[in-house]
Amino acid sequence: MKKILTFILLLVAVLTSPQIKANENTQLTKWSVFIRDVMASSVSITAHTNDTHNHEEYKTKLDSIYRLYNYLSYSKQNELTADELDSLEFGKTLTNIKTNIDDLNNNVGVEMQISKELYDMLLQAEEIRVSSNGYFDYSIGHIIDVWKSAIRKYDKKEIPESEFKSIIEEVTSIEIVDNPITLRSSKSNYFVTVNPGAKLDLGAFAKGYATQKAIDYLKSKGVEYYYINAGTSSIAAGKNPDYPTYSIGLREPVLERNIYGVVKIVDSTITTSGDYEQYFTYKGARFHHIISPKTKVPSSNYHVLSIIGQDAGLMDAASTALFSMNMEEAEAYLNKINAEAVFYEAGTHDPESPQIKSFSDKVNLSSLIDPAPKKGVGRYLVLGITIIVSATIIYFAVSYFIKTKDQ
């Protein structure tokens, strides 16, 4: 009897051991952190690590990263809620040099000492402004303010003709500065001067920049499995512990359906810019919050676009730049920054057949997109089948032993 039971146990071990080996990731611990009231949004981060990692330390650091850059990039546009004020004040405690974008805008023409963190952020923003031929411009805050004020007032509603004409007159009169800032560093001290006529606005860059800092931190700690949702417009994904990739739906901006496609990514970031959340209408046309520095008005080339690449900060800024480019310019810029994208074009004659242009093999635009399986279903299905097969073998083996013994 002992020999038979030993054989049965060994057989079960052989049957189940491939499953255990194939799912080494089941040994990982899932943890998450939710960061509220940063950059007019909230951020959720989920990761899987083994027990040697200090999850609580990671959560604290990730929270601090977003709150620090929330403070540094802050530029007053409208009143903050009590929670947003608390978040801003906490971010202020995380840097020795308290100067932020709001302070710089209030001291135009004056050289101000800033932290290295703000210096580095402004340096990359300036590099992207130049490399995008000015299609991304963080210095047109005066123009952005005019449009956003009207969007808040006429949120998704029709604006009167008189007010629309006033907006056009006002933004037309605002000059765009060729060299908006002067950066200087000396012996580990960092300085910036905002040049007259410029108003800094990092709203199209700061969230992605902070997300990249979060990614860099996770990777420095050896965290491979993570997913960052920075307010749905900016997503970063490491490796998926359950599947080869993460599947991300592309939100439909016009038709009455949830998504128009799916992007599969791993170790990448994806940023989406669209005209369907912040806008007012004039004569039926949408006027949204993504302003072209070339025309000083919102571009009408696309309803939405998504860009896929490695640097979350660059992708955030690049999505804004691409929104004002025509398709030929956009394709050239994507090649320049080594990124992929999908464009949902505006102004098509047949709304039921939208013009969608993809420059990525990661995008599935099929109209018959199968829903993603529930997380972990495959693992538990295989495990369940293994258990059933093992139990069946045990049953017949024991039955055979009893029958043999009776004979």
Q: What is the pLDDT of residues 136-181, one digit of tens each?
A: 999 999 999 999 999 999 999 999 999 999 999 999 999 999 999 9
Residue 203 pLDDT greater than 60, yes or no: yes
pLDDT class of 231 with cuts at 50, 70, 90: confident
- At 16 the pLDDT is 38
Q: What is the CA radius of gyration of the chain?
A: 27
186-200, 271-285, 380-394: which range is least confident on average? 380-394
3-state DSSP assignment of residue 77 = coil
Cα 362 to Cα 339: distance, rounded to the nearest angstrom: 12
Give the containing element (helix H, strand E) for 316: helix 312-323
Q: Phi first, then psi: what are they for 271, rounded to 5°?
A: -125, 140
Percent of the chain with pLDDT over 70: 82
C-alpha distances in Å from residue 334, one per residue of 176, 178, 288, 342: 25, 24, 23, 11
The Cα 189–Cα 204 span in angstroms is 27
Listed residue (270, 356, 277, 263) closest to 307, CA to CA = 270
> Please, which pLDDT band fits residue 254 given cuts at 50, 70 and 90?
confident
Banded pLDDT at 217 (limits 50, 70, 90) = very high
Q: What per-residue confidence (pLDDT) applies to 2?
A: 38
d(CA 340, CA 361): 9
Across the chain, mean pLDDT equals 87
pLDDT tens-digit profile of 277-292? Answer: 999 999 989 999 999 9
Distance CA 118, CA 62 (A): 17
Give the mean model confidence (pLDDT) for residues 101-121: 98
* pLDDT per residue as tens digits for the range 326-357: 999 999 999 999 999 999 998 765 656 778 99
DSSP string, 3-35: HHHHHHHHHHHHHHHHHHHHTGGGGSEEEEEEE
What's 197-253 look like in SS3? CCECCCCCCHHHHHHHHHHHHHHHCCCCEEEEEECCCEEEECCCCCCCCEEEEEECC
Please tell me the predicted confidence (pLDDT) of residue 255: 82
Give the tokens for residue 233. 């417009």
Q: Is the pLDDT reported for residue 220 higher than 70?
A: yes
Mean pLDDT across the stretch 195-207?
Answer: 97
**Quick one: pLDDT at residue 397?**
52
Locate the domains of the chain by residue range: 29-364
Taking only the tens place, the pLDDT of each residue in 356-374 is 999 999 999 865 344 444 4
pLDDT category at 78 given cuts 50, 70, 90 is confident
> Sign of torsion, CA 287 290 295 301?
negative
Domain 29-364 has CATH 3.10.520.10: yes
C-alpha 296/C-alpha 92 separation (Å) is 33
Q: Regarding predicted confidence, which is higher, 110 or 347?
A: 110
The model carries a pTM of 0.84
What is the tens place of the pLDDT at every residue in 17-61?
Answer: 333 333 455 689 999 999 999 998 999 999 999 989 999 999 999
Alpha-carbon torsion (235, 341, 72, 276), positive or negative: negative
**For residue 283, with 0-12 CB atoms within 10 Å meaning exposed, 13-18 middle and 19 or more buried, which class applies?**
exposed
Confidence of residue 391 (pLDDT cuts 50, 70, 90): low
pLDDT at res. 138: 98
Query: DSSP readout, 376-399?
Result: THHHHHHHHHHHHHHHHHHHHHHH
Does position 10 have pLDDT exceeding 60, yes or no? Answer: no
Which pLDDT value is given to residue 115? 98
Q: CB of 99 within 8 A of CB of 300?
A: no
